[in-house]
Amino acid sequence: MKDIERENMEKLVRVLETTAAKIRALEAEAKKVLFSEDDKEAYTQKLTNKAFLLTELPEMGEPFLSKMERETAREIGAALNDFARRAAQAMEISSIFYMSALLYPDDYKEGDRNDLERFIDRLKEKFLE
C-alpha cells in the first residue's frame, strides 16, 4: 500500500470510528429516554438519527476512497453502501424495530462489537497492520 493510500485509509478509519462512537452514544441515549423517561418520541428520534448517520457513510468515505486503489475503494465502498442501503430501508418503512436492529446480527450479545465496529476492525487488520 502506498503512503498516500495508507494515510487515506487511516483517515477513513478515524471517520468511521467517530461515527461508530456517535451511533453507540445515540443508542445509549435512546435506551435511556425509553426506559427511564418513557419518551417514545425521543427514542424514535435517536434511532432515526442513528439510521441517518449510516446513510451518510458512503459520502463520508468518498473523499478517502477516491485516493485509494480502485479495487480497494470498490470493496470498501460496497460495504459502506450496504450499511447505508439497510438504514435507508429502515427509515423508508419507518420501522423503529428495524432501526434499532441495524448493525446487530441475530446472535448479538451485549458487549459484542456491532457490524460497523467489526468492519472497522477488518479494515485495520487488512490494511493498517
pLDDT tens-digit profile of 8-37? 999 999 999 999 999 999 999 999 999 999
Range of the domain at 87: 3-128
Q: Helix, strand or coil for residue 45?
A: helix
Task: Give the contacts of 98 (CB within 8 A, at least 6 positions apart).
Answer: 89, 90
Handedness of CA 98, 112, 110, 16 (dihedral sign): negative
pLDDT at site 22: 99
pLDDT at site 18: 99
| Enclosing H/E stretch for 54 | helix 40-55
pLDDT at site 1: 77
pLDDT at site 120: 99
How many domains, in total, are found in the chain?
A: 1
Number of CB atoms found within 10 A of residue 83's CB: 22
The mean pLDDT of 64-83, rounded to a whole number, is 97
pLDDT at site 85: 99
Give 76-125 pLDDT, tens digit per residue: 999 999 999 999 999 999 999 999 999 999 999 999 999 999 999 999 99
Maximum C-alpha span of the chain: 52
